[in-house]
Structure 1
Amino acid sequence: MFNRAVSRLSRKRPPSDIHGSDGSPSSSQQNPKSTAKWAASLENLLEDPEGVKRFREFLKKEFSEENVLFWLACEDFKKTQDKKQMQEKAKEIYMTFLSSKASSQVNVEGQSRLNEKILEEPHPLMFQKLQDQIFNLMKYDSYSRFLKSDLFLKHKRTEEEEEDAPDAQTAAKRASRIYNT
C-alpha cells in the first residue's frame, strides 16, 4: 500500500496551464524551467513529480532515499480521511520508517520516536514533528548537494538544450521549405 501511494504521488502531474492569465498562450519565458523552480526551494522540488523522481535518484545514490519516501508517505497520510485507512497507513509508516526493526529507518532524534501505542488513535498530524525533522535534514544537507550534483546539472543542461532546439528546428524547416520549393 505504501509503495503504491509513493508511486502515485511521484507520478502525479499538475494540470498544464497552456494559457497565461490574460488568456493568451503562455510562452516558455513566462513559465520558469523546472530546474529553476527546483533550485528556488526544496518545497518547489517536492511539489513537482519530476523533481521528486530526480531527487529520489540522487538520494538513492547517497543511500538516504528513505528520507524523501518518509516525507511523501507523511504527506499522503495527512490527506487520509477514513479512520481505518489512517490506522493502516500509520502502522505502515511506523513499521517501514520508525520502528527499531524498520526496513527503511529514518534518522530522527531518539526522543522524537513514536510509541507504538499512539498508532491505535492516529490523527493527521501525528508524524508532523518527525516529518519536519526529516524535511530539515534534507533541506540543509541532501538538497544543497543535489543542486550541485551531476544528475541535477545534466538535467538542467538537457532542459536548456531542449529550450534552444525548437528555434533551430524552425529555422531549419524554413530553410528547407525555401530551398525545396
Structure 2
Amino acid sequence: MEYIHSSDGSPSSSHQNPKSTAKWAASLENLLEDPEGVKRFREFLKKEFSEENVLFWLACEDFKKTQDKKQMQEKAKEIYMTFLSSKASSQVNVEGQSRLNEKILEEPHPLMFQKLQDQIFNLMKYDSYSRFLKSDLFLKHKRTEEEEEDPPDAQTAAKRASRIYNT
C-alpha cells in the first residue's frame, strides 16, 4: 500500500488530529493532559504570579501514582513544605490550610491531598483558565497552528501527488 506524503514527509491523512489549541480550549482536563499545554499554561500563570497552582496540581498527580511508602512520605513532605506549610516557598491558597500541620505526613496515602488539589483545580478552571483562553499567549499559539495547516480543500490528492512526483 502506498501513502501520499505531505511536504514534511509525514503520511498525509484526511483524518487529522484535532489541533492542540482546540483540545486545550475544550477543557482544562485536556490542557493538563498535554505536556505542551501545561508548558503554555505555566508560562501564562507565571505572568499572573500564580504558577504555584498548576505546579501543586501536577505534584499531587505525581504523588497519587507513587507506590513505595518511603517515596510517598518524601513526596508528601516535599508537597507540604513547598506548597502548604506557612513557610512554603510557593504557597497555594486553599481552604483549611491553617489547620494543616506536619502530622499529616506521618501516615501518607495517595489521596491525602485530593480535597486541596480539587480546590486548586476549580480555582484554575473558573479563574485563570478562562483568562488563559483569551490571552495573547494562547491566541498567538492558535494562530501559528492555523497558519501551519493548509486549508483541507486547497490541496486535492492529485495536487499533492503532482507535487511529490513532479508530474
Q: Same fold (TM over 0.5)?
A: yes
Report the Cα distance in structure 1 between the residues aligned to 2:112 and 2:5, rounded to whole angstroms.
Answer: 40
Change (3 A) 1:24 1:53: closer
Q: Which structure has the highest helix share of the two?
A: 1
2:83–2:89 contact (8 Å) kept in structure 1 = yes
Aligned partners of 1:158, 1:115: CA distance in 2, in Å?
47
In structure 1, the gaps of 5 or more residues are 1-17
**CA pair 30-121 structure 1, distance change in 2 beyond 3 A:** same
Aligned residues: 164
**RMSD, aligned CA:** 5.1
Give the Cα–Cα distance (whole angstroms) in 1 for the partners of residues 92 and 14 of structure 2.
39
Structure 2: gaps (5+ residues)? none
> Quick one: higher RCO (CA 8 Å, sep 6+), 1 or 2?
2
**In the alignment, which residue of structure 2 is the partner of 1:39?**
25
Following superposition, the deviation at residue 173 of structure 1 comes to 10
| Contact 1:66–1:104 (CA under 8 A) maintained in structure 2 | yes
Bigger Rg, structure 1 or 2: 2
Cα distance change of structure 1 residues 95 and 21 upon mapping to structure 2, 3 Å threshold: farther
- Secondary structure (helix, strand or coil) at the match of 1:164 reads coil
TM-score (norm 1): 0.76
1:133 equivalenced with 2:131 (yes/no): no
The Cα shift of 1:34 comes to 0.3
The 1:61/1:112 distance shift into structure 2, 3 A limit, reads same
For residues 142-171 of structure 1, what are the alpha-carbon distances to aligned partners after superposition, in whole Å with 9 as ceiling and x for unaligned?
000000000000000000001129998999
Asked if the contact 1:59/1:65 (under 8 Å) is kept, the reply is: yes
| Aligned residues with identical type, % of pairs | 98
